[in-house]
Amino acid sequence: MTNITIAWMAFPFFIGFVIYLLPKIDRWLALLTGLVSIAYAMLVFFSMPSASDVLPIQLLDNFGVTLAVDQLSAYFILTNAVVTTAVIFYCWGSGRTAFFYMQAIIMHGSVNATFICSDFISLYVALEVLSVAAFLLIAYPRTDKSIWVGLRYLFVSNTAMLFYLLGAVLVYQAHHSFNFAGLRGAPPEATAFIVLGLLVKGGIFVTGLWLPLTHSESQSPVSAMLSGAVVKSAVFPLVRCALMVEEIDPIVRFFGVGTAVLGVCYAVFEKDTKRTLAFSTISQLGFVMAAPVVAGFYALTHGLVKSAVFLIAGSLPSRNFKELQSKPIDTKMWIALTIASFSISGFPLLSGFGAKVLTSKNLLDWQVVAMNIAAVGTAIIFAKFIFLPHGKSEEQIKVQPGFWWAMVLLIGGLFVANVVYYEAYTLENIVKPLATIAIAWVAHFLIFKRLSIRLPRAIEKFDHQIGIMTLMLILLFWVEYGRNYIS
């Protein structure tokens, strides 16, 4: 298993360069990589049937790279693999060059690597490779706008990673090891720096407000990958640390709740489809973090839904909800959009239901109220998509040839993933999400559909995003300092 893991981790990087050497078969190679990752995730599920099984890998000597594979990683790997495969299908006939597939596959590889890292430096390297690949994908159209959006992303994430590096060396100073477990007993500033870096990188809470612009202004397949898989690369280490070191757990849960509520507050007022989805990503990451024990399954269902909806949003006639009201969308596309929206709202029969039930069972008392509000908010956001008019549209929009293959994979995945937690189907569990959706739809028609409030976007400006890091750093430092010295 150790050898398979290492071969699988290196495979996307190797294939990435081969794609550039053999541009004729670029799509096939990219597809192969996606399928290999799906197979690997399945292998992990079958060879480690219990959630507590871990495969620790120590490369080189004492100070070498440490990796750890378990079921939690397998869920995240599966998410990444399915999203990448779907995006490759989507791009199949779009005439994108080998360069695009190469970057997509290298990004896939580095996201995979983050899901099995268990020391801070390997994680740093994986996250930085990922930033570069993501930048190149965002800037792929080479317009001024795309370059600026990419540059802004690279700038914010690199600054955050510098703080992260500072934290990593403080952990090393305390324990002479970079392992995640070193956060226990590390000085408060170490935790503050590392958590800050990961929060910014993952697009969480106010430090994550760089995300809406980046995810909404990229091309649809890139947004799908960024929202479906890439943001989770920084959430995963937070979840892993929360599970390994119980002192981190309340911090991760707290920011989970914060970002879940903040994301929906912005998203319900948003009038643009892709920005709504990006804010919804900020909020959904909160659900992943709110209950670290079951984060994997929630991340999987969110990844499938979000990438499907981003791909659909890219094929709609307009990005503005107002204009979409007067332009009916194709019925087949509407059905796919509705299934995905129902899943994320937590409707039974789809795996989003199981994920929501599982998460809500693992919440702590103080989280419950806020998370229920966020769940209603999520259903309101997706009511906006469900109640779009549909029918035979006059102007046929050209859909990418691979579009339906991608949809079959992603939405099929939503049905299949039900097997993970079929115990969720009890009467009591089914009533609650239905009530949530009912409340949300009433609220949608009575209140939010009629409102037209434009929230200010000043906080999303580049300078403010960097500045917010200082505020967050101070907040984290006081939280950590208080915990260490008062208790």
Partner 1 sequence: MLLEAFVFATIFIGFFGVILKKNLIMKIISMDVMSTGVIAYYVLLAARTGFVTPIVTEANDVAYADPVPQAVILTAIVIGFSITALMLVSAMKLAKDNPTLETNVIEENNTP
Query: Which residues are near partner 1 by CB under 8 A?
Result: 63, 121, 124-125, 128, 131-132, 135, 139, 142, 144-145, 147-151, 154-155, 158-159, 162, 165-166, 169, 172-173, 176, 178, 213, 217, 461-463, 466-467, 470
Q: How far is the CB of 60 from partner 1 (least distance, A)?
A: 11
CB nearer partner 1, residue 131 or residue 307: 131
Q: How far is the CB of 381 from partner 1 (least distance, A)?
A: 20
Q: How far is the CB of 104 from partner 1 (least distance, A)?
A: 18
Contact criterion met (CB below 8 Å) for 286 and 204: yes
Q: How far is the CB of 461 from partner 1 (least distance, A)?
A: 6
CB nearer partner 1, residue 25 or residue 132: 132
CB nearer partner 1, residue 45 or residue 155: 155
CB nearer partner 1, residue 80 or residue 110: 110
Contact criterion met (CB below 8 Å) for 175 and 117: no
Q: How far is the CB of 147 from partner 1 (least distance, A)?
A: 5
CB nearer partner 1, residue 111 or residue 409: 111
DSSP assignments along 360-404, one per residue: HHT--HHHHHHHHHHHHHHHHHHHHHHTS-BS--SSPPPPPTTHH
Contact criterion met (CB below 8 Å) for 277 and 313: yes
CB nearer partner 1, residue 147 or residue 243: 147
Q: How far is the CB of 150 from partner 1 (least distance, A)?
A: 7
CB nearer partner 1, residue 86 or residue 104: 104
CB nearer partner 1, residue 128 or residue 247: 128
Contact criterion met (CB below 8 Å) for 75 and 62: no
Q: What share of the chain is helix, strand, coil (3-state, %, to 5)?
A: 75, 5, 20
CB nearer partner 1, residue 32 or residue 125: 125
Q: How far is the CB of 308 from partner 1 (least distance, A)?
A: 24
Contact criterion met (CB below 8 Å) for 473 and 192: yes
Contact criterion met (CB below 8 Å) for 121 and 168: yes
Query: What is d(CA 351, CA 345) in angstroms, rounded to the nearest whole number?
Result: 10
Collect all residues with Cβ–Cβ distance below 8 Å to 120 and sequence separation of at least 6. Answer: 164, 167, 168, 171, 178, 179, 180, 182, 194
CB nearer partner 1, residue 396 or residue 452: 452
- Helix pair 144-175, 462-486: axis angle to 10 deg: 20
Collect all residues with Cβ–Cβ distance below 8 Å to 296 and sequence separation of at least 6. Answer: 71, 72, 73, 74, 75, 76
Q: How far is the CB of 429 from partner 1 (least distance, A)?
A: 41
Q: What sign for the dihedral angle of Cα 76, 78, 81, 87?
A: negative
Query: What is d(CA 370, CA 257) in angstroms, rounded to the nearest whole number?
Result: 7
Q: How far is the CB of 75 from partner 1 (least distance, A)?
A: 28
Q: How far is the CB of 452 from partner 1 (least distance, A)?
A: 18
CB nearer partner 1, residue 75 or residue 135: 135
Helices (H) and strands (E) in the chain, counts: 20, 2
Q: Is 185 left (phi over 0), alpha (psi -120 to 50) or beta?
A: left
Q: How far is the CB of 210 from partner 1 (least distance, A)?
A: 12
Residues in a beta bridge with 406: none
Contact criterion met (CB below 8 Å) for 283 and 378: yes
CB nearer partner 1, residue 163 or residue 382: 163
Q: What sign for the dihedral angle of Cα 129, 133, 138, 140?
A: positive
Q: How far is the CB of 487 from partner 1 (least distance, A)?
A: 27
Helices (H), 230-294: 232-244, 249-269, 273-290
Question: What SS3 state is found at 148?
Answer: helix
Any idea what DSSP says for residue 456?
Answer: -
Contact criterion met (CB below 8 Å) for 244 and 130: no
